[in-house]
A and B are shown apart, each in its own frame.
Chain A
Amino acid sequence: MSSKTMVYSELHASKVYYFILGICLALVVLGAFSFFHLEHEGHYVTGMNNQVVWGLPHVFAIFLIVAASGALNIASIGTVFRKGLYQPMGGLSALLAIALLLGGLAILVLDLGHADRLIIAMTYYNFKSIFAWNIILYNGFLALCILYIWTMQDRKMKVLYPYAGFFAFSWRLILTLGTGSIFGFLVSRAYYNSAMIAPLFIALSFALGLAVFIILLFFVYRLDKRELGDLVLNRLRYLLAIFVAAAMFLELARHLTALYIAQRHGVEQFILLEGGIYTLLFWIGQVLVGGLIPLSLIFCRALKNNHWSLLLASALVIVGGFAQLYVIIVGGQVYPLELFPNAEVQSSFFDGEIHAYAPSVWEWMLGLGGIGLALTIYFFGMVALRFLPRSLADTEVEAS
């Protein structure tokens, strides 16, 4: 894998480390408490209903799953595209991918009406369902990431390193394609049902995964007082800009396509103009905070080599990505199904109405629990195994 000169070591388990781990575990406990409450009472305690069937937990879950596949990109660029600068961070990238995926899957599974029937989901497969394929894709991704890490950390396995990297990269592309297709294949909903959603999710995963990776990398290197130079950070900075721009471009193409189809004018008008919170989240959250401001921060010459501007840009990309997923998942559902085009409909089941959805505290707790779980795995992993290059200072990186 990386150069012989690069030395790796475990994260030092300081007091601050245990404090952070404690906060993460507290979030996990909150999530677990929420799960038991939902399991005991039923979903009536949530804001979800028969109109908006997927809510905030799904936004958290899909955010983490999409970011997980993107987080592996750092490793892939090092292995598959043979960029030496990225190779030292490969292990960290695969660890983060595993952590984020497990956090996201935990939310998804614990929100099920029958989480106790997980074994059924593992043993009964309807192969026409993209959901069933995703179960296989997620498990395969975890297995491949573990194998990938093994080939990085065990000299005897080194011969398999390029193959593991290649398979993990291919698998992650298919995985995100599958996650996007959960929505893309919904023929009846005007805001989904588009081939554009799958590539959009891939671009989004690149951006979100990288943003999360940058923030955690910076944070962990500060925590452990290790050196992190401009060379690495600037490379990541411009990579982030490309991914953010790609996600924005695909979203633009998706909306332009929809605006050309008369059947979709209603939902586009809702999201882009009249949707209240969803319109706000789209323009302010997704476009401005998640797209234009981070791009400006990255390309502003005065802020070149400024670590804090990169951190801020990454944080904004995360906030914007979350807003984008909220608009797609919840916004796409609050707009009513069109049973009769060109007609107004009315019923006791809220046909023809813009549906209401306000997430409950239980949904926030479950979502934050998933994030807590992801961070717990990430921080625990770094103490358990040698993932961290001892230094990513410019001289070290150049030498390697």
Chain B
Amino acid sequence: MSQINAYRRKFMATLGGVAVGGLASSVILRTVQAGDVPAKPADQPVSNQVRWGMLIDVNRLTDGGASMVEACKREHGWGNDPKARPEQQAQWMRTVKVTDKLTKYSFTLPVMCQHCEEPPCVDVCPTGASMKRADGIVQVNKHICIGCRYCMMACPYKARSFVHESLTDQRPHSPRGIGTVESCNLCVHRVDQGQLPACVEAAPNAVIFGDLNDPNSRISQAMKALGGSQIRADLSLNTGVRYLGL
């Protein structure tokens, strides 16, 4: 009998914890604040004092992240390469529907470059075109990318695309080039100007963006309170993009 009571107490305590957690989540993730991203003066180098990251609450994404994907497309101008076949189209970000084989529990989440601390794509790139900035943003230096696609072979998240054709009408802030590899760059052009990435702005109630190195930043506080899962945590890549509700 006492065992059952102990079990009941434990169960109620857990329920209480979940309720408090949910409340905290709604408080912490309610709004995105532009102050999360201080602008970098143009004459200053990128600092390793900060590490940019993102926390996505999958349960609060009403559309599974589709609006984030659309915002990314608009910002960087990908998604309609006229000559490429569907499997050749670039996709910097996509929504993935996950269904557990045993439990059938299902959820949808946006997947893009996870901005790993130990990025395999950077390790394998022969020229150093695939690079990680001091502030943790992983991107491709398109001037020295030779188009070997080894980074695409190495990325565990299938986050990279190869440009299969000549493109016109590109965004001036996000040039895309035939024969080079590209991927989410955390909207580096916006972040440097103190703005949030386009996808974060498109899902203000479900995503926090900020400095993972600052223990007082909202993202660090939220992760401390609620956690932040990684996709393929087994690879120990320490991703900068984290999820709640996986």
Cβ–Cβ contact A188 & B120, under 8 A: yes
Any A CB within 8 A of the CB of B11 = no
**A10 CB → nearest B CB, Å:** 39
Cβ–Cβ contact B179 & A114, under 8 A: yes
Q: Which of B146-154, B193-201, B203-211 contacts A (4 or more CB under 8 A)?
A: B146-154
Partner of B124, one of A131, A333, A346, A349: A131
Cβ–Cβ contact A113 & B145, under 8 A: yes
Any A CB within 8 A of the CB of B98 = yes
Contacting residues, chain B, for A340 (C-beta < 8 A): 98, 231
Contacting residues, chain B, for A351 (C-beta < 8 A): 94, 96, 111, 158
Given contacts A114-B146, A339-B232, A340-B231, contact A50 B179 (CB under 8 A): no
Cβ–Cβ contact B144 & A113, under 8 A: no
Select from chain B the residue with minimum beta-carbon distance to A333.
B153
Cβ–Cβ contact B84 & A44, under 8 A: yes
Contacting residues, chain B, for A187 (C-beta < 8 A): 120, 154, 156, 235
Contacting residues, chain B, for A339 (C-beta < 8 A): 96, 98, 111, 156-158, 231-232
Cβ–Cβ contact A120 & B124, under 8 A: no
Cβ–Cβ contact B126 & A129, under 8 A: yes
Cβ–Cβ contact A49 & B156, under 8 A: no
Contacting residues, chain A, for B191 (C-beta < 8 A): none
Select from chain B the residue with minimum beta-carbon distance to A350.
B87
**A181 CB → nearest B CB, Å:** 10
Partner of B161, one of A50, A118, A131: A50
Select from chain A the residue with minimum beta-carbon distance to B99.
A344
Kindly state the separation between the CA atoms of A41 and B148 in the bound complex, as whole angstroms: 17
Kindly state the separation between the CA atoms of A54 and B91 in the bound complex, as whole angstroms: 18
Q: Which of B19-27, B29-37, B163-171, B216-224 contacts A (4 or more CB under 8 A)?
A: B163-171
Cβ–Cβ contact A43 & B162, under 8 A: yes
Select from chain A the residue with minimum beta-carbon distance to B158.
A337
Q: Which of B158-195 contact A (CB under 8 A)?
A: 158, 160-166, 178-181
Q: Which of A80-137 contact B (CB under 8 A)?
A: 112-115, 117-118, 120-121, 124-126, 128-132, 134-135
**A266 CB → nearest B CB, Å:** 11
Any B CB within 8 A of the CB of A386 = no
Any A CB within 8 A of the CB of B80 = no
Kindly state the separation between the CA atoms of A124 and B128 in the bound complex, as whole angstroms: 7
**A327 CB → nearest B CB, Å:** 16
**B83 CB → nearest A CB, Å:** 5
Q: Which of B77-110 contact A (CB under 8 A)?
A: 81, 83-85, 87-91, 94-102
Cβ–Cβ contact B149 & A186, under 8 A: no
Cβ–Cβ contact B235 & A355, under 8 A: no
Partner of B126, one of A41, A53, A131, A355: A131
Cβ–Cβ contact A50 & B152, under 8 A: yes
Any B CB within 8 A of the CB of A364 = no
Any A CB within 8 A of the CB of B63 = no
Cβ–Cβ contact B235 & A347, under 8 A: no
Kindly state the separation between the CA atoms of A351 and B97 in the bound complex, as whole angstroms: 9
Kindly state the separation between the CA atoms of A347 and B75 in the bound complex, as whole angstroms: 21
Any A CB within 8 A of the CB of B127 = yes
**B96 CB → nearest A CB, Å:** 4
Kindly state the separation between the CA atoms of A263 and B182 in the bound complex, as whole angstroms: 29
Contacting residues, chain A, for B85 (C-beta < 8 A): 44, 49
* Contact digits for B56-92, partner A, Cβ 8 Å, 1 yes 0 no: 0000000000000000000000000101110111110
Any A CB within 8 A of the CB of B125 = yes
Centre residue among A50, A114, A121 by max chain B CB count within 10 A: A50
Centre residue among A54, A125, A351 by max chain B CB count within 10 A: A351
Kindly state the separation between the CA atoms of A132 and B148 in the bound complex, as whole angstroms: 11
Any B CB within 8 A of the CB of A22 = no
Cβ–Cβ contact B111 & A125, under 8 A: no
Contacting residues, chain A, for B163 (C-beta < 8 A): 42, 113
**Could you show 9 A-B contacts with beta carbons less than 8 Å apart?**
A42-B165, A44-B84, A113-B145, A113-B148, A114-B179, A188-B232, A340-B231, A342-B102, A343-B101
